């Protein structure tokens, strides 16, 4: 048994980042992880593997659709699914081993096994009980279940099963037009599957800017995805090789069925806190099953903190990372802070979708007077050269002060472009500050500047 300053339960982006920052700040730190490898959902079965498949399937799409026009002639590549999966597995391995290396470098003990908290200040892993001044719960989230839908991870899969299908599906049904459904739906559509997305609401990607939602859906349709909107999935009936999905349309309650060889359930995730012993400890949960914390990420039990997907807020790896760093600062007696108003969100389809801050709807609802600066990638030289001119940048700024309140981008490298706006927002910048900043030519970033110019006297290339 060892005594620690901090024991963190879970080694996902929240937990491992927290552990590294704790160690850097001089705290004796351990991290509990029950998986074979570090990195949690994100590195093992989430963000990182899905990005490998998004990248390889995008390369295929480029070869099939744009190479000839660029003067690159020859047969398009064919898909070696086994090799693609092994590329994905190698990507996971280099990343998870990287975290293991960082743990060693920072002298963080990896307590292997599933942890529980038998009492404040104690963490049980296997038969051993370790003591710590502070405990941080970073146990993440799991796929939420859908009544009538039984997941077997072969035919009816969550994102985990969708990242290791035995063979490529010919027909795929995706339940839920959220981030996971559209990212993985895109992958299999590009790899040749006929993909139908069934969504309960009337718009895809709930919570996104309305104009982005419409443009995004139009582009995905053009790429071959089919959408059934306003439809509630009732059940799936699966055999060993295919499944029948039954759904009702909300507008008239009519019942419909569709068959597929793979069904991806992507209807959201819920906090994962099973087995931690929170009930017995009396740790308070919210009515949505999240661990309730105060503004310093402490639960109602002194010395027990929680961060990431298992508390409130968007279930995003980088939000968890920020909370991990902030709570480490707090535990080291410093000041920890997360600006929840400036957390970007990105969908890694092609084109990418990215947003930060408030949407027009939120500004309207709050009665804030705002102005909009919008610029289409059609006016961006670099985007046109790269056959990537679909989409736009939209900046929302306060009508009086010109302060940037939000930005919404659909287009090439949107997930990278959004960060200059995040930095600007952190500094309380105005749209004019962005507009007066010299942007290299020719870059996609010029579209951000043009959108900022559109908040003032107007863009140049519109
Ligand atoms: P989501 O909450 O983004 O979307 C779920 C969708 O399913 C919603 O549009 C909802 O209306 C729909 N739905 C729910 N029940 C339904 C039913 N019975 N029939 C038809 N449609 C139904 O959830 P998702 O995509 O599973 O993602 C889970 C979490 O993981 C999210 O918080 C997301 O932010 C995070 N994530 C983030 C990624 C990123 O940042 N790129 C990548 C993957 C996941």
210-261 pLDDT, tens digit per residue, is: 999 999 999 999 999 999 999 999 999 999 999 999 999 999 999 999 999 9
Which tens digit of pLDDT belongs to each residue from 235-247? 999 999 999 999 9
The C-alpha atoms of residue 277 and residue 156 are separated, in whole angstroms, by 31
- CA 389 from chain centre, in angstroms, equals 24
- Give the model's pLDDT for residue 76: 85
- From the CB of 140, is ligand 1 less than 6 Å away? no
Nearest atom (ligand 1) to Cα of 348: 41
Short-list 389, 367, 365, CA closest to 379:
389
**Contact (CB, 8 A) for 413 and 402:** no
Residue count (the chain): 462
Whose Cα sits closest to atom 27 in ligand 1?
268
Does residue 415 have its Cβ closer than 6 Å to ligand 1? Answer: no
3-state helix, strand and coil shares in percent for the chain, rounded to the nearest 5? 35, 25, 40
pLDDT computed for residue 191 by the predictor: 98
Tell me how crowded residue 224 is: count the other CB atoms within 10 A of its CB.
13
- How many C-beta atoms lie closer than 10 Å to residue 202's C-beta? 10
Q: Does 61 qualify as catalytic in the annotation?
A: no
Give distance in angstroms: CA of 263 to centre of ligand 1: 15
State how far the alpha carbon of 319 is from the alpha carbons of 208, 312, 370, 423, 427, in Å. Answer: 17, 11, 27, 16, 19
Q: How far is CA 181 from the centre of its chain?
A: 11
For 49-97, the DSSP string reads HHHHHHHHHHHHHHHHHTTGGGT--SPPPPP-HHHHHHHHHHHHHHHHH
> Cα(265) to centroid of ligand 1, in Å?
9
Going from the Cα of 205 to the center of ligand 1, the distance in angstroms, rounded, reads 8
Nearest to 140 by CA among 303, 325, 298, 16: 16
Residue 182 CA: nearest ligand 1 atom is 25
The strand pairing partners of 30, in sequence order, are 7, 109
Where the chain has pLDDT below 50, the residues are none
Q: Does the beta carbon of 348 lie inside 6 Å of ligand 1?
A: yes
Q: What pLDDT does residue 300 have? A: 98
Distance CA 221, CA 215 (A): 10
Q: Which of 145, 263, 267 for mutating ligand 1's site (highest number of atoms within 8 Å of CB)? A: 267
Q: State the pTM of this model.
A: 0.97
d(CA 219, CA 213): 10
What is the DSSP code (8-state) at residue 379? G
Beta-carbon contacts of 80 under 8 Å, excluding residues fewer than 6 positions away, are none
Q: Environment class of residue 87 by beta-carbon count within 10 Å: exposed (0-12), middle (13-18) or buried (19+)?
A: middle
Nearest CA owner, ligand 1 atom 26: 268
Mutate to test the pocket of ligand 1, among 198, 249, 268 (most ligand atoms within 8 A of CB): 268
359 upstream amide cis, omega within 30 of 0? no
């Amino acid at each position: 048994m060892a005594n620690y300053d901090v024991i963190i339960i879970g080694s996902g982006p929240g937990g491992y980042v927290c552990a590294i920052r704790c160690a850097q700040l001089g705290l004796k730190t351990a991290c509990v992880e029950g998986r074979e490898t570090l990195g949690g959902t994100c590195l093992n079965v989430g963000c990182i593997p899905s990005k490998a498949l998004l990248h390889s399937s995008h390369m295929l799409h480029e070869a099939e659709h744009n190479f000839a026009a660029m003067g690159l002639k020859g047969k398009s590549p064919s898909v070696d699914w086994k090799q693609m999966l092994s590329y994905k597995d190698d990507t996971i391995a280099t990343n998870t081993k990287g975290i293991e290396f960082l743990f060693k470098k920072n002298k963080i003990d990896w307590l292997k096994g599933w942890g529980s908290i038998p009492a404040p200040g104690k963490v049980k892993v296997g038969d051993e009980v370790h003591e710590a001044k502070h405990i941080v719960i970073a146990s993440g989230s799991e796929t939420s279940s859908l009544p009538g839908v039984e997941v077997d991870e072969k035919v009816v899969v969550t994102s985990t099963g969708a990242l290791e299908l035995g063979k490529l599906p010919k027909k795929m049904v995706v339940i839920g037009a959220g981030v996971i459904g559209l990212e993985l739906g895109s992958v299999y559509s590009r790899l040749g599957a006929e993909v139908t997305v069934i969504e309960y609401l009337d718009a895809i990607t709930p919570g996104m800017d309305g104009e982005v939602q419409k443009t995004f859906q139009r582009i995905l349709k053009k790429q071959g995805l089919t959408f059934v909107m306003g439809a509630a999935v009732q059940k799936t009936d699966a055999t060993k090789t295919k499944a029948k999905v039954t759904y009702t349309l909300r507008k008239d309650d009519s019942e419909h069925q569709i068959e597929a060889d793979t069904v991806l359930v992507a209807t959201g995730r819920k906090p994962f806190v099973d087995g931690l012993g929170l009930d017995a400890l009396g740790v308070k949960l919210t009515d949505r099953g999240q661990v309730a914390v105060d503004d310093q990420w402490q639960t109602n039990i002194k010395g027990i903190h929680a961060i990431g997907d298992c508390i409130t807020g968007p279930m995003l790896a980088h939000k968890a990372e920020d909370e991990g760093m902030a709570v480490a600062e707090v535990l080291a007696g410093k000041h920890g802070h997360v600006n929840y108003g400036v957390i970007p969100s990105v969908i890694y389809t092609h084109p990418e979708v990215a947003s930060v801050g408030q949407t027009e709807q939120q500004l309207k609802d709050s009665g804030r007077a705002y102005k909009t600066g919008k610029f289409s990638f059609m006016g961006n030289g670099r985007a046109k050269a790269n056959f990537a001119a679909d989409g736009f940048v939209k900046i929302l700024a306060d009508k009086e002060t010109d302060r940037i309140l939000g930005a919404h981008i659909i287009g090439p490298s949107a997930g990278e472009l959004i960060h200059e706006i995040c930095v600007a927002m952190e500094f309380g910048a105005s749209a004019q500050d962005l507009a007066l900043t010299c942007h290299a030519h020719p870059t996609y970033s010029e579209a951000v500047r043009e959108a900022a110019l559109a908040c003032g006297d107007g863009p140049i290339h519109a």
